[in-house]
Structure 1
């Protein structure tokens, strides 16, 4: 039995979400992939919000029937969405990754102003960390945030790239350096920047190998001014906020990887059971059933790790105490997605690399993004090893 960590309430919720995705998302996946129809994504996001599915990990907002809603259920939503279309899942996962620090660290007025529309599906958010010289090494951040004592405003200047929902988001969580005279991890601050802020621009949108339909691009900020109340947490508290956001994002990405992996396995199994080759079904060949078996156990391992991390989060475990488990979930689920997509293409042969014969080639392109976004596989391995060997300071 799969989903070992889930309760009967969790499984019933999965059935409900799967029906929702079949009704709302499935009819639009071709438009999202072929036409990169972002309007279709916004319409589905609105439906998700109206159904209450974007409030699951924020129990104080949730008004549904689940007795204990949490990240476990957000992961289920992520998985079921990614099973049908990873680009759409990216859009909502990014919005929720933005909602997380707003919910935890924003002042009352901006929290109400920006969080409620996201959770109701009327708005989407974005997070701005990555820079031209900053990927996994967030401590090397160059964007600057300073406080204007005269106007009582935060002033943001910097350039961010590989930003999901760039130019489309309604609010951006932006990290920058507020104190260059201390170690980088002690001098970062996060603020909220609303769409339309003077000095904010979007120089370029990227054309990715996969996730067709998701919007990813650059965000430039030239003396962007936001109210004092738009500070998240406290000054120089940005690194701690970032750690929590990464844990949250990596567990969600575990769900993304599971959805892509499951979709690939389904295609491979259907083909192996229906295709005749040398007088017998393709699935009767040892090399084929070996690939199917490997896909199956890898998915189970990824699922166990992802649901464990989600359940830990829901029990109140976070910060450095969740870093290892969140990294394991993201690492194994994303690498499994790449493996399953690759093996599925191989099993399908020519049909696997041709758009006219199903979505195997799309899954292959989509999956390759997963070991990079939200912390590379290499970074996840570092974080895991660092927790296993606390007495040794690992050298990146």
Structure 2
């Protein structure tokens, strides 16, 4: 690993957080995977909060040793956690995706009530975007967020699905449309909704092929009311808030993909150098050389593209200025993760399909979600192309 874009301080931070996760997460990874032990997840989240690692994105709230903490360091944390257990990393990445708009767009009272507990590891956050008929086409959401002037409250009605941390989160950032009096197209509005408010419910959680231990489910809102100060930004700012959140999330997913890819590569590399077949080590076979080489260069390319995006963000780029680079980080790293786990299983043969011979089958199941969550590979390709074809309005 060359990590040309990382500084010595960044590399020292990687070593520090790797040792921390080996101490706190690695001993609990089997419980998270095999028993879906939420208490194990909460223990590590709390430990991360107490150590200050959940504040990396928020320089004004950070209290650690880094001179300029930022998205680069949050992505390093994501990468190192995903190397051990991607399901756990999904939990903290989602919580930080909730913290991001709270930090940027919430009132001081909301930040005290909801942001600080998340950053301390005492609470979990969630974001509510996806609906039964709406995924990446967020402008077509059916959830309604409307203001009741009589009671000075926002009223939420709708149904969200595939929500990470559903039912276990303490606060939900909910995106919905607000109708306009002039009959124009409704605008997207974002509000913070605590878990104990009347009208919020959690119909079911899903069972996935991978990411065991990460709780994902449905959230329903029936005349759910929150006071006016639970609005994020201004009415109709939701789409811009969401775009900034997605830039953050996609860069973090670049780290997730890198962590899964590196873990698979290391397993394959070790096996190729220790397994003997036809009188020589498996790694001496030309076809295996090809697999190892392709895994290696793809990981390096994904690393460079991912940390380019994080360094750009830390230098001040965001919104449309970062959309293409964040999308590229997400696309390349997550596709690389899927390539690497597939090749690792092939190199290990039957051992790669069993729980008895290591983690490869778990990585194979976990990786498949990466090219779907946070915007499918197809969707982020559209985002990339929209920057390269600025004079065309692409009809998705």
TM-score (norm 2): 0.99
Offset, 1:392: 1.2
Which of 179, 184, 196 is residue 182 of structure 1 equivalent to? 184
Q: Which residue of 2 aligns with 1:132?
A: 132
Cα offsets for 1:233-261 (capped at 9, x unmatched): 00011000010010000000000000000
Does the Cα contact within 8 Å between 1:203 and 1:219 map onto a contact in 2?
yes
Equivalents in 2 of 1:4, 1:296: separation in Å? 15
Q: Does 1:367 align with 2:370?
A: no
Contact 1:179 1:188 in 2 (8 A): no
Quote the Cα distance in structure 2 between the aligned partners of 1:30 and 1:371: 24
Deviation at residue 182 of structure 1 after TM alignment: 2.7
What is the match of residue 377 of structure 2?
377
Q: CA–CA distance in 1 between the matches of 2:293 and 2:364?
A: 19
Structure 1 gap segments, 5+ residues each:
none
Aligned length: 394
Shift of 1:394: 1.4
Tell me how far apart the structure 2 counterparts of residues 84 and 130 of structure 1 sit (CA, whole Å): 28
Q: Distance in 1 between matches of 2:340 and 2:179?
A: 45
- List per-residue Cα deviations over 1:36-64 (Å, max 9, x = no partner): 00110000000000100000010000011
* Alignment match, 1:102: 102
What residue is the counterpart of 2:322 in the other structure? 322
Query: 1:65-84 residue pairs with structure 2 within 5 A?
Result: 65-84=65-84
Task: Name the residue aligned to 2:61.
Answer: 61
Q: Aligned pair 1:208/2:218, yes or no?
A: no
**Deviations 1:303-343 (Å, cap 9, x if unpaired)?**
00110000001111000010000000000000000000000
In 2, Cα distance between the equivalents of 1:174 and 1:60? 25
Deviations 1:198-234, CA, capped at 9 Å, x for gaps = 1111001000110000000000000000011000000
Contact (CA 8 Å) 1:126, 1:173: kept in 2 or not?
A: yes
* 1:178-199 CA-partner distances (Å, limit 9, x unpaired): 1253335xx1100000011111
Gaps of 5+ in 2: none
Tell me which residue corresponds to 1:114.
Answer: 114
Q: Give the Cα separation in 2 of the matches to 1:245 and 1:153.
A: 25
Q: Report whether the alignment pairs 1:300 with 2:300.
A: yes
* Equivalent residue, structure 2, for 1:388: 388
Per-residue Cα deviation, 1:94-150 (whole angstroms, up to 9, x for no partner): 000000000000011011110000001110100000000000111110000111111
Q: Once the 2 structures are TM-superposed, how far is the Cα of residue 33 of structure 1 from its aligned partner?
A: 0.2
Matching residue of 2:23: 23
**What is the aligned partner in structure 2 of residue 238 from structure 1?**
238
SS in 1 for 2:221: strand
- 1: CA distance, partners of 2:190 / 2:105: 10
CA shift, 1:395, in A, is 1.8
The answer on whether the counterparts of 1:124 and 1:171 sit within 8 Å (CA) in structure 2 is: yes
**1:259-274 equivalences in 2 (<5 Å):** 259-274=259-274
Separation in structure 2 between the aligned mates of residue 122 and residue 4 of structure 1, nearest angstrom: 36
2:281 and 2:395 map into 1 onto residues whose CA distance is 51
Given that 1:166 and 1:218 are in contact with CA atoms closer than 8 Å, whether structure 2 keeps it comes out as yes
Q: Per the alignment, in what secondary structure is the counterpart of residue 142 of structure 2?
A: coil
